[in-house]
A = this chain, B = another copy of it.
């Protein structure tokens, strides 16, 4: 329900109220925020528009990462409220991840009052230029009479191109002036429907031996996976899932699919000999980084690339059409449930992943920022309880703790398990505080190997040699001297925490975390790479 207020024309309401009320009317009813002086009227509007839920973050990257995950779970945009250019800067990394995920996200950035801009006051900077690097749509509201219309246009824009960030820059005077009125929601943009000629081409490709279907973006829902599983069962095509899916419904009972490997050499092996690569909601695979002498394009020579549905298309419908064509009577072969507890003993990455899989609650959301552990985690989770995975889509680390927060706000009835590399956690650990404040059911497992382990691997791969173990260069890749103590850090943010050094410690800690309401953190000590 929209709030009742004075009619437009009779003075109207303040810009901030018109904005917030119109957002609620357009279905945007959660705002992750880190406001400042120029956003005080937006904050004040939380009192007069109680349908909007404000969630405070201690750092902007927490707000943006949370909104990304919230939208991935709900399918609707959440809002973010940030303070001027520097606040936007702090939010950019997770907005980059949202951009790469194709997440619909409404970003409101407060700005100086219009007639204050000419003074070039200390906080003045080029908000638009910053916003354009992560947004598909950017607009600055110029007048209180426009702000509600601008807001609903921004919401509609979040649905374009398969989902994108839309940024509304909100000058303080537009926010505080009276004369605003609510604006009705605008229709969202629908994804492109399946193209018959693309379905036909894909059908031809999967009927030939050696086809691979690469699933990504919107093609990883329960329905889309089921259709893909039917195609695989009927044709023998192999299913692969893009390396960093925005949202993947997987686990026992759902069709089995391997993730495309992160390292280019391994991905090339997975694709070796494929007769065709059918893209369903996924982009044609490329190496994450360039390396000396390694190809950037991961499609083997001789493999035909067949685009069934791109990221802006209704990939689930396209897969359903493909299944109707090639597998009218087939059933998808479900992954079995097979996640035994690991035996007692010292923790390593393998037993850690097994323990998480063994204790995974039904219908959990798994936030995966496990980095070096990811290649072990994915197969372990394949046969665990059915769940939804959210991955680090844009490679901008520090996504996990905010994403766990946003997912838990989006789905209060679903437990959230965050599997988290320690170095990445330290970018946005402030998210724990909001998890505590909002009493969210999040279990964070920190994988603490006291190193930027991925960089040690990468240093060797880039040909920079074994400097990882030298004193001076190697010291830039270790997280020792001192080793961060995540139990203390979590406690400082109000989240109960325990340390686990053995498999039995970890299993006990996971059960402890899942038996109590609210957030918990487990610091799992695993050996550093050699």
Q: Chain A interface (Cβ within 8 Å of chain B)?
A: 33, 35-38, 40-41, 43-47, 50, 54, 56, 58-59, 61, 85-87, 89-93, 95-97, 99-100, 112-113, 115-116, 118-123, 125-126, 129-130, 132-134, 172-173, 176, 244, 286-292, 296-297, 393-396, 398, 423, 426-427, 430, 433, 436-437, 454-455, 458-459, 461-465, 467, 470-473, 475-477, 479, 481-494
Which of B47, B116, B398, B465 has a CB less than 8 Å from the CB of A467? B47
A297 nearest in chain B by CB position: B119
Known: A112-B289, A426-B58. A465 touches B37 (CB 8 A): no
Complex alpha-carbon distance, A485 and B33, angstroms? 22
A97 nearest in chain B by CB position: B86
Residues on B with beta carbons closer than 8 Å to the beta carbon of A54: 472-473, 475-476
B43 touches A473 (CB 8 A): yes
Query: A37-B455, A89-B133, A487-B492 provided; 5 other pairs, C-beta below 8 A?
Result: A37-B461, A44-B465, A58-B479, A482-B493, A484-B492
Which of B89, B115, B290, B436 has a CB less than 8 Å from the CB of A112? B290
A119 touches B287 (CB 8 A): yes
Complex alpha-carbon distance, A407 and B71, angstroms? 42
Complex alpha-carbon distance, A286 and B116, angstroms? 9
A462 touches B93 (CB 8 A): no
A-B residue pairs, 8 tightest by C-beta: A89-B92, A482-B494, A116-B290, A113-B290, A86-B396, A488-B492, A489-B492, A119-B286
Distance of A158 from chain B, by nearest CB (Å): 19
A47 touches B473 (CB 8 A): yes
A122 touches B288 (CB 8 A): yes
A33 touches B288 (CB 8 A): no
A467 touches B58 (CB 8 A): no
A134 touches B125 (CB 8 A): yes
Which of B86, B133, B288 has a CB less than 8 Å from the CB of A394? B86
Number of copies of this kind of chain in the complex: 2
B89 touches A93 (CB 8 A): yes
Can you list 14 A-B contacts (CB < 8 A)?
Answer: A36-B458, A40-B455, A40-B462, A43-B473, A47-B467, A47-B472, A85-B92, A86-B92, A86-B394, A89-B95, A90-B427, A115-B290, A116-B287, A123-B394
Complex alpha-carbon distance, A286 and B43, angstroms? 25
Which of B45, B126, B287, B486 has a CB less than 8 Å from the CB of A121? B287
Distance of A425 from chain B, by nearest CB (Å): 10
B58 touches A289 (CB 8 A): no
Residues on B with beta carbons closer than 8 Å to the beta carbon of A61: 90
Known: A116-B296, A172-B462. A35 touches B482 (CB 8 A): no
Known: A86-B394, A465-B44. A437 touches B289 (CB 8 A): no
A244 touches B492 (CB 8 A): no
Residues on B with beta carbons closer than 8 Å to the beta carbon of A433: 426, 482, 484
A464 touches B44 (CB 8 A): yes
Known: A50-B472, A96-B85. A437 touches B481 (CB 8 A): yes
Complex alpha-carbon distance, A476 and B31, angstroms? 11
Complex alpha-carbon distance, A437 and B483, angstroms? 9
A40 touches B489 (CB 8 A): no
Which of B462, B484, B491 has a CB less than 8 Å from the CB of A493? B484
B476 touches A46 (CB 8 A): yes
Complex alpha-carbon distance, A296 and B56, angstroms? 30
Distance of A220 from chain B, by nearest CB (Å): 16
